[in-house]
Amino acid sequence: MPGHARRGDIRNIAIIAHVDHGKTTLVDRLLQQTGTFRANERLIERVMDSNDLERERGITILAKNTSIRYRGVKINIVDTPGHADFGGEVERILGMVDCALLLVDAAEGPLPQTRFVLKKALELGMRPIVVINKVDRADARPHQVLDEVFQLMINLGAADEQLDFPHVYTSAKLGYARLEIERTDSDVRPLLDLILDRVPGPPGDADAPLQLQMATLDYNDYVGRIAIGRISRGRIRLGDPIALLKLDGTVQTWKVTRLETFEGLKRVGVAEAAAGEIVAMAGIPDIQIGETIADPNAPDALPPIRIDEPTISMEFLVNDSPFAGQDGRFVTSRHLRERLFREARANVALRVEETATTDTLKVSGRGELHLAIVAETIRREGHEFQLSRPQVILRKDGAGHLLEPIEYLVLDLDEAYRGRVMEMLGSRRAELADMSGAGTGRVRLEFTVPARGLLGFRREFLTETRGTGIMSHVFHEYGPHRGDIPTRTRGSLVVKEPGTTVTFALHNLEERGTLFVGPGVAVYEGMIVGEHSRDNDLVVNPCKKKHLTNMRSSTSDDTIRLTPHRDMSLEDCIEFLGEDELVEVTPKSVRLRKRRLSAHDRKRVERAASETAVS
């Protein structure tokens, strides 16, 4: 039957896992050991993590394609991010592949994102290959972890043939794969053989009319927008007319001006490609993820790619601080709007909406990191803007009950901190779902917890566990609203008047709270320079110089030793934000501020609010 023909010369796989379980490192080894790096090429670690933010943070943010050749077969590989906030990346690319390698850390075992990505793969009917990685770790427990994966599959309702999954033990770090843990293979060939044997070749009839769905967008200054997807049937030729079936139901006709396939880390031009192959195309402006390219004589659209909804939103505002326009190249609301809407087209889990105010856009995503990375990316391109405190997106069920996003949280920590951490989570309305490891010194605690309750939790958790705790969480479900959660328990230290900070004044403020700035920093009225040790805001003057006297003082500026201030990254600032505060982001600085800069205005608003409350 033509529709069921499978290609023998290609395999399409994705590598999926919880964050840091070793996906990108495994891709390095596959590329190296199949000769994709030439001998004279310098070996770059985690070579697929190619953008600046990925290299700085050591995490994968965007899913990316590469390919290797092994025993005459081309294996297209998609490396995916493991952090829960980028789950949308995994969802959008799974349709391009026929099998997922589910990687699981041999010591950590399955974690929240393992569950999420496995669920998505199972729903598509895939039979994953389970790769127990990091077996070189001293604390590896490969057999137990394999059992845990099996149990997880059962819990997720895997079909019998999915439960009959092949598995392999690997050390991506040391570059080997072994079918049995006792074996001594010293390269990744056992994994490659397993891929050829167990991954089905891509289906699709090359002689049927063309059909392919866009799964990824890329952009290049020379050729413009590049669309990437897998041909599900037919063939595509350079220069042929094609129909673009838009998501809104309209049809456009275009010509493909550039057609490429993935070869190792490069893309190479080809004149033609057939069903089963993953291709990159240029020449189709405005094409979007999920749209179908088809034969103009058989314009059949594929069903849209389904992506989980965003759970958290934040305002992006034009920068109107007194320092606006000092660093950025793009500062107007038109710039911001244009850039954010462009981002939403490639970043499928992101949603951008207009608000009642032209200077404010509402941006929704899958978590604080998802939104912070968007902010960080466009900031580096020269944009200036401000961000508001993140808010979870609430919904109502059929009966009108309020629902809120609930996260599944997994914590690994020393037993000594258990009591205190349970207490912290109790006040955040978390419910214990599971606990293991009691009596071993280190415990794993699992909770369901409102996403609201996790805003700002990471810092407290790390402080409480002296940096030794490990936490991860993933969206679980929309569940009944669990009631009030006390928000920030500390106020801000707010600047009284513009100036430049001086050591003398900062020193005097140290007893009032934790400072975010050192001396010599330009500040404006209403800017936040620290966290107050109490729950209210305190207006302070960090620029006030010591009165000059003609006595030589023993506390002149250069003898004062300031406690090092707390350096606030963009994510720290977002976590810190109160309801009436903003973070100002420019290419060079990140500053916290009150929405209303003048203390007088804030008082007036506060008074008006309390009056309405009384009446």
Ligand X SMILES: Nc1nc2c(ncn2[C@@H]2O[C@H](COP(=O)(O)OP(=O)(O)OP(=O)(O)O)[C@@H](O)[C@H]2O)c(=O)[nH]1
Nearer to ligand X, 49 or 584 (CB): 49
Distances in Å between the alpha carbon of 614 and those of 109, 266, 384, 536? 54, 67, 40, 21
Residue from 69, 167, 173, 488 touching ligand X (CB under 6 A): that is 173
21 binds Mg ion (CB under 5 A): no
20 binds ligand X (CB under 6 A): yes
Question: Shortest distance, CB of residue 123 to Mg ion, whole angstroms?
Answer: 23
Residues 443-482 that bind ligand X (CB under 6 A): none
29 binds ligand X (CB under 6 A): no
The sign of the dihedral angle between the CA atoms of 404, 409, 415, 417 is negative
Site for Mg ion (CB under 5 A): how many residues?
A: 3
As a whole number of angstroms, the distance between CA 441 and CA 448 comes to 23
Query: Which residues are paired to 177 by β-bridges?
Result: 170
Q: Which of 489, 566, 536, 444 is nearest to 144 (CA)?
A: 444
Q: Provide the H-helix boundaries in 470-558.
A: 503-509
Q: Which does 19 bind (CB under 5 to 8 A by kind): Mg ion, ligand X, none?
A: ligand X
Distances in Å between the alpha carbon of 357 and those of 89, 321, 333, 361? 31, 17, 10, 8
As a whole number of angstroms, the distance between CA 579 and CA 389 comes to 6
Nearer to ligand X, 86 or 323 (CB): 86
Distance in angstroms between the alpha carbons of the first and the last residue of the chain: 76
24 binds Mg ion (CB under 5 A): yes
Query: Which residues are paired to 274 by β-bridges?
Result: 235
Q: Which does 17 bind (CB under 5 to 8 A by kind): ligand X, Mg ion, none?
A: ligand X
As a whole number of angstroms, the distance between CA 214 and CA 254 comes to 15
311 binds ligand X (CB under 6 A): no
Instruction: Please answer whether residues 513 and 530 qualify as being in contact, where contact means their C-beta atoms are separated by less than 8 angstroms.
Output: yes
From residue 261 to residue 280, the character string flagging contacts with ligand X as x (rule: CB under 6 A) and all else as - is: --------------------
92 binds Mg ion (CB under 5 A): no
Residues 374-413 that bind ligand X (CB under 6 A): none
Half-sphere exposure of residue 602, counting CA atoms within 13 Å on the CB side?
Answer: 19
- Binding piece for Mg ion, criterion CB under 5 A, among 18-26, 311-319, 587-595, 596-604: 18-26
17 binds ligand X (CB under 6 A): yes
As a whole number of angstroms, the distance between CA 546 and CA 420 comes to 43
Residue from 5, 14, 24, 67 touching ligand X (CB under 6 A): that is 24
Residue from 7, 11, 21, 565 touching ligand X (CB under 6 A): that is 21
- Binding piece for Mg ion, criterion CB under 5 A, among 22-30, 347-355, 572-580, 590-598: 22-30
178 binds ligand X (CB under 6 A): no
From residue 136 to residue 155, the character string flagging contacts with ligand X as x (rule: CB under 6 A) and all else as - is: xx------------------
- Binding piece for ligand X, criterion CB under 6 A, among 131-139, 195-203, 427-435, 440-448: 131-139
Q: Provide the H-helix boundaries in 64-111.
A: 87-93
Residue from 11, 81, 142, 314 touching ligand X (CB under 6 A): that is 81
Residues 26-65 that bind Mg ion (CB under 5 A): 60
25 binds Mg ion (CB under 5 A): no
Site for ligand X (CB under 6 A): how many residues?
A: 21
Q: Which does 448 bind (CB under 5 to 8 A by kind): Mg ion, ligand X, none?
A: none
- Binding piece for ligand X, criterion CB under 6 A, among 19-27, 119-127, 359-367, 479-487: 19-27
491 binds ligand X (CB under 6 A): no
Instruction: Please answer whether residues 545 and 505 qualify as being in contact, where contact means their C-beta atoms are separated by less than 8 angstroms.
Output: yes
Strands (E), 221-345: 224-233, 235-237, 241-245, 251-255, 258-263, 266-269, 272-274, 278-282, 292-294, 312-317
Q: What are phi and psi of 255, to 5 degrees?
A: -115, 140
Query: Residue 541 burial by CB count (10 A; 0-12/13-18/19+): exposed, middle or buried?
Result: middle
Residue from 59, 158, 256, 517 touching ligand X (CB under 6 A): that is 59
Question: Shortest distance, CB of residue 450 to ligand X, whole angstroms?
Answer: 25
Query: Residue 535 burial by CB count (10 A; 0-12/13-18/19+): exposed, middle or buried?
Result: exposed
Question: Shortest distance, CB of residue 113 to ligand X, whole angstroms?
Answer: 8
Residue from 23, 127, 429, 602 touching ligand X (CB under 6 A): that is 23
Residue from 171, 472, 501, 503 touching ligand X (CB under 6 A): that is 171
190 binds ligand X (CB under 6 A): no
As a whole number of angstroms, the distance between CA 192 and CA 189 comes to 5
134 binds ligand X (CB under 6 A): yes
As a whole number of angstroms, the distance between CA 114 and CA 111 comes to 5
Q: How far is CA 396 from the centre of its chain?
A: 27
Nearer to ligand X, 22 or 450 (CB): 22
As a whole number of angstroms, the distance between CA 281 and CA 442 comes to 51
Furthest-apart CA atoms within the chain: distance in Å:
99
Question: Shortest distance, CB of residue 34 to ligand X, whole angstroms?
Answer: 18
Nearer to Mg ion, 59 or 256 (CB): 59
Residue from 46, 74, 452, 565 touching ligand X (CB under 6 A): that is 46
The sign of the dihedral angle between the CA atoms of 543, 546, 552, 554 is negative
> Which single residue brings its beta carbon nearest to ligand X?
82
85 binds ligand X (CB under 6 A): no
Q: What residues make contact with ligand X under the rule CB under 6 A?
A: 17, 19-25, 46, 59-60, 81-83, 133-134, 136-137, 171-173
Q: What residues make contact with Mg ion under the rule CB under 5 A?
A: 23-24, 60
